[in-house]
Structure 1
Amino acid sequence: MPEGHSVHRIARQFARNFVGSRVAVSSPQGRFASGASELDGHTMTDARAVGKQMFLEFDNGLWLRIHLGIYGAWDFAGDITADATVRSANGRMGQTNQAGTVLDSAGEDSLSSMGAPRRTRLRMAEQEKLEEPITEFPPEPIGQVRVRLLTDRAVADLRGPTACEVLRPEQVDAVIAKLGPDPQLDSSEAAEERFVAAVAKKPTAIGLLLMDQSVVSGIGNVYRAELLFRARLNPHTPGKSVPTDVARALWRDWAHLLDVGVRTGQMLTMDDLDDEAYALALANRADRHWVYKREGLPCRVCGTNIVLEEMGSRKLYWCPKDQA
């Protein structure tokens, strides 16, 4: 499932390539035909991510709410702009060669830079990938497209979301009110206090609380494991038993890692790497994380084998010594 950084990056694509444009909205699959008709022909005025959910506003006052869930993905195509981490990696996010990156006038790496075709397809879900260039615009929908958003230069196709619905402003406010703080949107002391207070009052294991989107927005399985290891915190510790200073450190570390993810397109959770190690980490998940997907391998700090167990119906990776 896409974690918070991915959804923020998708919202940024909409902000760059759709906001301010009149959008033709359709449902090639047919399952969203009624909702599409409410938005069709209106101008997109805002694109906003909150944790794992995204909200697109239109000039008739309605919003499109999307939750990708496990299977959802957006395909962008046309004269679109992507981050340097996409272009210079030939589509594999994070494999960058900054020296060879050509930036456009806005400081972003255009897909039309470096001799690349003007019109290209970009897939964005848990991973980001440049696919084959397109020869006509708009391209035909591929697969079961729930909703298609089309301007005169870009198209976005949504497939397999958990949620796709049209909401009024008060309904959007109600959805967001149920979500925990997102440090990409609010890194204030008040947001930190809200997180610390939510953790302190619950007997639930901290390994479950970090995945509870009403406690904090955007954390998924990868970030959960890595945040807990970086804090040297046992995943089974009840929230109310987590020291206040540790809870504050968790929030600040989440803000840091989320920012790295939004900037690089990767869940890079190892700090203070030299240039060679940083390049390896961006290129290969095996060099990117402390504990995630490393079950049975020695801990990078103490050498104890990393443990894999199930918590909250999700796989949990942790070090039984450093996080004892």
Structure 2
Amino acid sequence: MPEGHSVHRITRQFARNFVGRRVSLSSPQGRFAAGAAQLDGHVMTDARAVGKQMFLEFDNGLWLRVHLGMYGAWDFAGDIIMDATIASSNGRMGQTNQRGTDLGAGAGPDQTAGPVLDSAGENSLHSIGAPRRTRVRMAEQEREIDQLETFPPEPVGQVRVRLLTDTVSADLRGPTACEVLDPAQVDAVMNRLGPDPQLDDTPEAEQRFVDTVRKKPTRIGLLLMDQSVVSGIGNVYRAELLFRAKINPHAPGKSLSEESLRALWRDWAHLLAIGVATGQMMTMDDLDGDAYVLAMKNRADRHWVYKREGLPCRVCGTHITLEEMGARKLYYCPSCQA
């Protein structure tokens, strides 16, 4: 499932390519025909991401809400202007990594020196600035599909909704939610979501997170995945944040100190910003030079505990544990996080 950084990256593509432009909407598969008709021909005026949900506003006061869920993805096609902070080559945008991480040998996380592709052929910064006649897929992974010969392309597969301008199209497949909402309904949905540090990294947002967790007897490993507590955290970030904080995932929220929760919030803001900028859920962010480039190339070198069950902890050597929590796989070190 896409985590928060992916949805913010997709939303920036809409902001760059659709906001301020008149958009035609259709439902090639027919399941969203009535909703598409409500928005068809209107100008997109805003694009927002809150955690794992995206909201597109139109000049008739209505919004399109999309939650990609486990299988959703967006295909962008046409003369795509890639955002400088999330530029990619061509592929799918929706669920973890993107083509084009612009890092070279000796470059750290804040430096650029040339593209580095990971072992899956993905990276995050590649074609910055000028429009490209191409096809880009954004979901959990973001990867190149092909160069575009004709525009608009024929819909491929079960396209729930197509958004089309004179130069760019965006096709949505397999979402958990795709619906038209009025402003009051949008407010109601957003008010149910926890704070998102990409939108609000104020002391008030931090305090809301701390206060909510400290009232709960629920295990912190479950609370971090609860989108009403904090927005955007999924399975990867849950495991990595708790390891970095040396917090036992089974600890009740109310047992944690205010200081430790403030540090957890600040670390989430930090890692989320890296994810939005690079397209990678890079959680070993203290690496330098060749080690950083290696981690960007290989997912196995990018994380402390995620998908490392049975392997020795990078810190203490204890074997990483895998168990189920909240119907999702949980990875942690039973020694470092005792």
For residues 37-86 of structure 1, the C-alpha deviation after alignment (integer angstroms, 9 at most, x for no partner) is 00000000000000000000000000000000000000001111235665
Partner of 1:28: 28
Partner of 2:222: 208
Structure holding more strand per residue: 2
Residue number among 145, 152, 158 corresponding to 1:138 in the alignment: 152
**Measured at CA, do residues 30 and 88 of structure 1 come closer, stay the same or move farther in structure 2, by a change above 3 Å?**
closer
Distance (Å, rounded) in 2 between the aligned partners of 1:89 and 1:73: 14
Partner of 1:220: 234
1:99 counterpart SS class: coil
Structure 1 unmatched ranges of 5 or more: 102-106, 113-117
Distance (Å, rounded) in 2 between the aligned partners of 1:296 and 1:111: 46
Distance (Å, rounded) in 2 between the aligned partners of 1:132 and 1:92: 13
Residue number among 269, 291, 299 corresponding to 2:305 in the alignment: 291
2:166 counterpart SS class: coil
1:155 counterpart SS class: strand
Partner of 1:71: 71
2:276 counterpart SS class: helix
How high is the TM-score relative to the length of structure 2?
0.90
Question: Aligned partner of 1:162: which letter?
Answer: T
Partner of 2:99: 92
2:113 counterpart SS class: helix
Q: Does 1:189 align with 2:203?
A: yes
**Kept after mapping to 2: 8 A contact 1:299/1:306:** yes
Shift of 1:229: 0.0
How high is the TM-score relative to the length of structure 1?
0.93
For residues 140-174 of structure 1, the C-alpha deviation after alignment (integer angstroms, 9 at most, x for no partner) is 00100000000001000000000000000000000
**Kept after mapping to 2: 8 A contact 1:63/1:168:** yes
1:219-258 correspondence runs (5 A):
219-258=233-272
**Measured at CA, do residues 88 and 76 of structure 1 come closer, stay the same or move farther in structure 2, by a change above 3 Å?**
closer
Question: Aligned partner of 1:2: which letter?
Answer: P
1:131 counterpart SS class: strand
Distance (Å, rounded) in 2 between the aligned partners of 1:260 and 1:64: 27
For residues 186-217 of structure 1, the C-alpha deviation after alignment (integer angstroms, 9 at most, x for no partner) is 00000000000000000000000000000000
**Measured at CA, do residues 88 and 171 of structure 1 come closer, stay the same or move farther in structure 2, by a change above 3 Å?**
closer
Distance (Å, rounded) in 2 between the aligned partners of 1:86 and 1:269: 21
Shift of 1:279: 1.1
Distance (Å, rounded) in 2 between the aligned partners of 1:36 and 1:258: 32
Question: Aligned partner of 1:94: which letter?
Answer: T
Question: Aligned partner of 1:46: which letter?
Answer: D
Distance (Å, rounded) in 2 between the aligned partners of 1:254 and 1:80: 30
Give the number of equivalent residue pairs.
314
Shift of 1:92: 3.1
Question: Aligned partner of 1:214: which letter?
Answer: S
Shift of 1:222: 0.2
1:98-137 correspondence runs (5 A):
98-100=112-114, 109-110=128-129, 112=131, 118-137=132-151
